[in-house]
Amino acid sequence: MTLTSSGIVRNFLLSIPSSYGAQSSVPLILSFHGGTRTSEHQLRLDQLTNPQFNTVAMVVYPQGLNNAWQNIPGRSQNAPDVQFTSDLIGYLANMYCIDSSRIWATGKSDGGGFCGTLACDPNLSKRIAAFAPVSAAFYVNSGSCDPLTAFPPCNPGRSNIPFIEFHGGKDTTIAYNGGPRRGQCLPSIPNYIQQWARRDGLGTKNQSEPFAPDSSVYRFGKGANAGLVAQYYDPVIGHDWPSTVPNSDNSQPSRHVASFNATPIILKFFQQHQLE
């Protein structure tokens, strides 16, 4: 499918659940592909259209210009992707019966980093209810690189933004501990998530608990806000979308399946959060 945004014809894939009817509104998930990948690749990877996991939400897979996204180093660094996302949400809301309080965003790698861009945007942060990037690349354009303090410019239009992230300890593409990459700086994932918790008023201390073999989750917040910000960590997987069955990530040489599936965790998190 196509949509003209900022004078550019943009492409996207759309999956409509079999339960959809024009008389009842449905949630919408935006899923952004990784760098050099495509919307088709992301659809196969994230399994958000698999009825084993999702029979309720509509899922849209935007295609980045040059297979990349805004604010990611490269040819599309200045692409108008935030505007494209806004236009795409508006287009789908006009075409289908979308529950505007339940629009969510996820993505892999560079697409996960673009989720961070959307969460920090003063307008899109008010239209997207929750964010769940995977193996995300949160590039910071700075003269020096300190992964323990680096954080991208961020001016969200609301507080208490639900945000979770998944990462592997053996990720050699987007390192868990951050560092220089492609002329910019990647923050350490613990630092990045901690900054989101601070921004949401949750403090900087988390509750750590094992939730699968070899894996841990670090949750921020208490009471009604418990887990509003969280980070899922598997020390033995690489630059992967965590899955207990083979996929295009974990089937690569020297990689292997995870001890958990990220997809149902993401969907459960999304279902817990909607805009007021």
Q: What is the pLDDT of residues 118-173, one digit of tens each?
A: 999 999 999 999 999 999 999 999 889 999 999 999 999 999 999 999 999 999 99
Q: How confident is the model at residue 24 (pLDDT cuts 50, 70, 90)?
A: confident
* Residue 92 backbone dihedrals phi, psi, to 5 degrees: -70, -35
Tens of pLDDT, residue by residue over 175-223, are 999 999 999 999 999 999 999 999 999 999 999 999 898 899 999 999 9
Confidence at residue 19, expressed as pLDDT on a 0 to 100 scale = 87
**Distance (Å, rounded) from C-alpha 48 to C-alpha 59?**
7
Name the pLDDT band for 45 (thresholds 50, 70, 90).
very high
Q: Please tell me the distance from the alpha carbon of residue 9 to that of residue 62, in angstroms, as a whole number.
A: 12
The pLDDT, as a whole number, for residue 275 is 98
pLDDT of residue 44: 98
| Reduced 3-state DSSP string for the chain | CEEEECCEEEEEEEECCCCCECCECEEEEEEECCCCCCHHHHHHHHCCCCCCCCCCCEEEEECCHHHCCCCCCCCCCCCCHHHHHHHHHHHHHHHCCEEEEEEEEEEECHHHHHHHHHHHCCCHHHCCCEEEEECCCCCECCCCCCCCCCCCCCCCCCCCCCEEEEEECCCCCCCCCCEEECCEEECCHHHHHHHHHHHCCCCCCCEEEEEECCEEEEEECCHHHCCCEEEEEECCCCCCCCCCCCCCCCCCCCCCCCCCCHHHHHHHHHHCCCCC
Q: In Å, how far from its chain's centre is CA 110?
A: 9
- What pLDDT does residue 142 have? 87
Q: Quick check: 27 pLDDT over 80?
A: yes
The domains found in the chain, sorted by start residue, are: 2-271 (3.40.50.1820)
> What pLDDT, in 10s, does the model give residues 241-272?
999 999 999 999 989 899 999 999 999 999 99
pTM recorded for the entire structure: 0.97
The model's confidence at residue 26, banded by pLDDT at 50, 70 and 90, is very high
225 pLDDT more than 90:
yes
Average pLDDT, the chain: 96
What pLDDT is attached to residue 221? 96
pLDDT more than 70, % of the chain: 100
